[in-house]
Structure formats: C-alpha cells, structure tokens
Amino acid sequence: MIAKLKRMLIGERMATKAIVHEKLSNAEGLAILGVDSVSSTAYATEEILRALIPAGIAAFYLSVPMAIVITVLIFLVSFSYQQVVHAYPQGGGVYNVAKKNLGEFPALLGGSSLLIDYILTVAVSIAAGVAAITSAFPALHQHRIAIGIGIIVLLTWMNLRGVRESGKIFALPVYLFIASCAALIGYGLIAFFTGPLPLLPAAKSAHSGGEILSALIILRAFASGCTAMTGIEATSNGVPLFKQPESENAAKTLFRMAVILGTIFAGITFLAYQLGVTPSEHETVISQMAHALMGNSILYYVFQGSTMIILLLAANTSFAGFPRVASQLAEDGYMPHQFLNLGSRLVFANGILALSGLAATLLYIFNGSVHALIPLYAVGVFLGFSLSQLGMIIHWQRNKGNTGKMLITFIGFAATVAVFAIVFATKFFHGAWVLVPAIAGIIMLMKKIKRHYTDVANFLSLERNSLPRVEPNRTMVVLVSEVNRAALYAVHFAKIFQPAHLRAVHIAVNQEETEEIRAKWTSHVPDVPLDVLTSEDRDLFTPIITYLKAIDGMWSDDSVIAVIPEFIPENFLHNILHNQTALRLRYIIESDPELNVETLNVPVKANTPFTGQTPIEKAA
C-alpha cells in the first residue's frame, strides 16, 4: 500500500540503463550552470545598500565604486576557475580538488562548506524568489514562509521524480531574465544620459542612519556585495556536461558568464544609486527600480516573474549538486551509505530529502529573510573559493604549470582569501560565527563515520582467516506467548530440524497464568517440555535472555536457536493492534553481546488460508 502511494507520487521504477548523459551546447551550459551565478544579481545590490544604511543614504554613492571593484573580482575569480576547468575536466568541485592536493582535513572542510553552501543556495534563492513575488503582490508578504516551504516541497517532488536538467527548459527563463535586465539597464542608461531620471519618493524622506561612516561599515557593505560572486564555481563542477572539447567550451562559457554577471550587477547598482532606491522590508531594490522605470505595466510583472523563476532554477541546481557531493562523501565513507542509494527514479533520493529538510528548516529559522541568511552564505562560498585556489596552487606546483597560470591562480587565491577574511570578520557577529561550530561538528562527525565504516570493513574482511566455531548439534527453544496454532506450528516446524534438544519457554506474570498455560500445553504438546518462568516485574526480556544463556551453557557441542512464532496480520496497518513483542524479542536476542543464539522466525499469515493437513496432537 505504501509502495503504491510512493509509485503514484514519484512514478514507476526506472531501469539503471535509462541514465542518459546529456551533452549541452554552450548556450545551454551558460543557462544551466550560470543560473546560480547570474541569479545573485537579484539581491547583491540590495545587500550593499542595506549594509550602508547605518551611515545614512548619503553613503549610498559608495555602492558604485564597490560594484566596480567586485566586478573586477568576478573576472579575476573567473580566470582563476578557468584554470580549474582545464586541470579537472572530470568536474572539479572543491571537495575533489582539495582531496587530491591538500589532504583529508582540507577536503572535509571543503566538502562540508560545499554542502552548507548548497543548502544556503536553496534557502537564499527561494527567499529571494518569494521576495520577488511579494514585491509584486504585497498582500502575500505575511505568507512568505509558507510560500517558500511550498516551493521547496514542489522542487523536492520534481527532483524525486527525476526531472533532468534539460537545457531547453532552463534556457528560456534564464535568457528572458538576462534580456529583461539588459532592457532595464539600457533604458535606464538612455534615460540617465538624455534627461533627468525619475527620483523615487523614498529617497526624499531619507533618514540618516545616525552612525558615522566608518571603515567597518564600508568593509561590511563590500562583503555584502560579494554575494554577487556566489555560484561562479558551478561551471567548474559541470565540465563533463559540455560537448567536446569539454574544457575549452566550459572555459569559454565561464568567461561569457562573467561578462553577463558583471554587466548586470554593475548596471543595476549604478541605476539603483541614480534612482535613489532605498531598501525596504516589503519591496526588493530591483523591484523598486523596475517600478520606477516601467511603472505598473505588464513589463514590470514579466521582469518580476522572470526574476522569480531564475531564482527557483538557481535553487534547483542545488538539488543536483548536493546529492552528488553527498554521494561522493558517502562513497569515501564520510557520510552514511544511504546517500549512495540510487533511488527508484535514478536520483539520490536521500540526498534530495536531506537537502530540502535542511533548507526548509533554515528558511523557517531565519524567517524567510534573504538579508539574515546572507552572512552564512557569503562566508561559506568564499571559504570554498579559497580552498579551491589553494588546491590549484599545489596542483600547479606538482604538475609544473607555467608561470602565467601560476600567477593567475595566485592572484585569484590572494583575492578570495582577502575577501574571505573581510566577509568572515565583518559578518562574524551577524551570524557567521555559527559556521565555526557547525563546520567543526560536521567534520568531526564525518571522521567518526569514516572510522566506523573502516572498523566494520576490517571486522568483516576475509583476510582474518577465521570464523566463530559452529557447533554441530542443534538445541531449539520455541518462545511461546500463548498456546495457539502459531506456537504449535512452530513446534512442528522445529522438529524437522531434528534438534538434539527441543524445549519451549513461556514467561508468566503471575501464578494463575503459570498453571493455566502449563495445563493447556501438556494437553496439546505432551512430548516437548515447557519451562514456565515467572516475571515478578512483568519484564519479558530479561528472563528470556537469562534463560537462553543458561540453555547455551548446558551443552558444549550445540548451537542454540530461538524459534519465534509470529502472527503476521493481513493488513500492514493492523500491526498497530499487536504488541510487536516478537520483533523486540528478536532484536534483543540478536543484539545481546554475550548471547550466541540464532533466531528462526516461523511466520503464520492471516492472509493465507490455514487449511493444513497436520492434525493438532492431543494427549491421550
């Protein structure tokens, strides 16, 4: 029944050979792998302005030079990642690069920061996507968390069904967004150069933040703006998706993406300043810009819609990335093996479920606010950038790369480390400190998991060439809870094994029960001795374990097998009406470290007709 429901929701099982290795054209690759990166323009400018608010809107002019610096950084990091693309054509996520060049600890640091980033990509992108909706329809603002979690459920469902990252589906909204942005910025620039721009009313009722413009505020605003750079690494993870020559195509795409990203980001930031946009709780900065330039026309709604869709597509990329990294970590033994299971629809279902659960939790805790999530996000991303670049430096040293490549990588490393330091320091008390215990905890846990798997593999390995001794005789003990057909069938069944010793045991909770069961047993099974033990405190398990230990010690050349009759109800749900004592008994017998007893389960099924040929024996 549960299986049916599952099939209805996520579809029929798919054969393993149905895995397709789609190859992307460069235009499709730009859409699929660039969406995460380009979508960050939806919130990066706003984050700069928000960080400048404490110094008053007079400080907003700083956003323009900051955007220029960040655009330079975007190109720098992109060049640097082009090296990664060439060096790791099989896909160079930070986990792989660090594992190969830097050792276990940096690899786990990179792996855990990558997992956290995927979770935050979902949380931030969905929060921003919902903000795009609620900017257009303010009445929905109070329902933003419910909408966000609804979208996560939808994405989870689609991904569990195994929606492929189809280039065509992605390409349309991504290019629509790029075109909308280009139109918006183009129109804005023309208006700027040909006549006065319409100043927004919010700018007139401006408030000085009350704080003096300090180096800290400037750095913090710069750090906030660096969220524009999130997602650049995605292309380097997806090199194998490109057509031949893969690395070259990926590198080209990376450069084009940097151009688009830098242009849109710088353009939006410039126009936002010129329009006098002030961040507000209820409308995003780019929505205010679009409103100012397009009014309430249909074009405004198209722009908001395409913004929302590319943010959801950005979130969706994590649904491919997170499970893939989790499965790599699981393959190396650092995460539970369950993340390795390819589900019925050829996706890593457990990874998808873990991601959506964690992202929904973050969205709820941070009250659906992009601004609150950004500090965590930015720190994680730049940690990953820095580790990747460091790995590449080691890689070039080992592989004797030429000086030019070395230099680019080194400059990239220096830049990302500097940004990482700025972001971490300025955002530390805004929530980034959480990442220190979180990452430390994850790494410790991963190491513990690895140790456990190594221990088990050693334990089960055939290299230690011995097994526990198997005693040839069989002592069988039937555990009887009631004298009924299930118990009698189990006794009959045990007999075919020709045990050296066959006994039955029952735990009674009072004298009455003892006598009753003894009489009934003797009348039905006179040839098998029944031991009735009394449990003073109604505990069934301790007396059974003690009894089985005593039986085990009685003869030296025998193996003890506990025979457990089990009634299986017709309907799975009916199990609720039964105590499940058989199940618990089996578990307790199997897990007791000092007990060397096997269990034989003799199921009696309510859904098979019980028309037998073995007459029930009766004492004469």
β-bridge mates for residue 605, sequence order:
568
Q: How far is the CB of 330 from a copy of itself (least distance, A)?
A: 10
Using CA atoms, how far apart are residues 69 and 604, in angstroms rounded to an integer? Answer: 75
DSSP 593: T
Among the residues of 88-214, which ranges form H helices? Answer: 94-101, 104-136, 144-161, 167-194, 201-204
Q: CA 285, 287, 293, 295 torsion: positive or negative?
A: negative
Q: How far is the CB of 505 from a copy of itself (least distance, A)?
A: 18
DSSP E strand stretches across 538-596 = 558-568
The end-to-end CA distance of the chain, in Å, is 47
DSSP 470: P
Does an H or E element contain 502, and which? strand 501-508
Q: How far is the CB of 495 from a copy of itself (least distance, A)?
A: 8
Q: How far is the CB of 544 from a copy of itself (least distance, A)?
A: 15
Q: How far is the CB of 365 from a copy of itself (least distance, A)?
A: 19
Q: How far is the CB of 536 from a copy of itself (least distance, A)?
A: 4
* Chain centre to alpha carbon of residue 107: 18
Contact assessment for residue 246 and residue 239, using Cβ atoms and an 8 Å cutoff:
yes
The token duo for 562 is 């506990």
**CB-count exposure of residue 378 (10 Å: 0-12, 13-18, 19+):** buried
- The residue (of 282 and 605) whose beta carbon lies closer to a copy of itself is 605
- The residue (of 398 and 448) whose beta carbon lies closer to a copy of itself is 448
Q: How far is the CB of 545 from a copy of itself (least distance, A)?
A: 13
The token duo for 367 is 């009250």
- The residue (of 182 and 600) whose beta carbon lies closer to a copy of itself is 600
Q: How far is the CB of 460 from a copy of itself (least distance, A)?
A: 4
Using CA atoms, how far apart are residues 477 and 533, in angstroms rounded to an integer? Answer: 14
The token duo for 136 is 């257009």
CA angle 180, 186, 192 (to 5 degrees): 135
DSSP 525: -
- The residue (of 61 and 572) whose beta carbon lies closer to a copy of itself is 572
- The residue (of 24 and 525) whose beta carbon lies closer to a copy of itself is 525
Using CA atoms, how far apart are residues 274 and 49, in angstroms rounded to an integer? Answer: 13
- The residue (of 365 and 456) whose beta carbon lies closer to a copy of itself is 456
- The residue (of 398 and 605) whose beta carbon lies closer to a copy of itself is 605
- The residue (of 61 and 497) whose beta carbon lies closer to a copy of itself is 497
- The residue (of 510 and 546) whose beta carbon lies closer to a copy of itself is 510
Q: How far is the CB of 464 from a copy of itself (least distance, A)?
A: 7
Q: Which of 36, 59, 344, 113 minimizes the C-alpha distance to 221?
A: 59
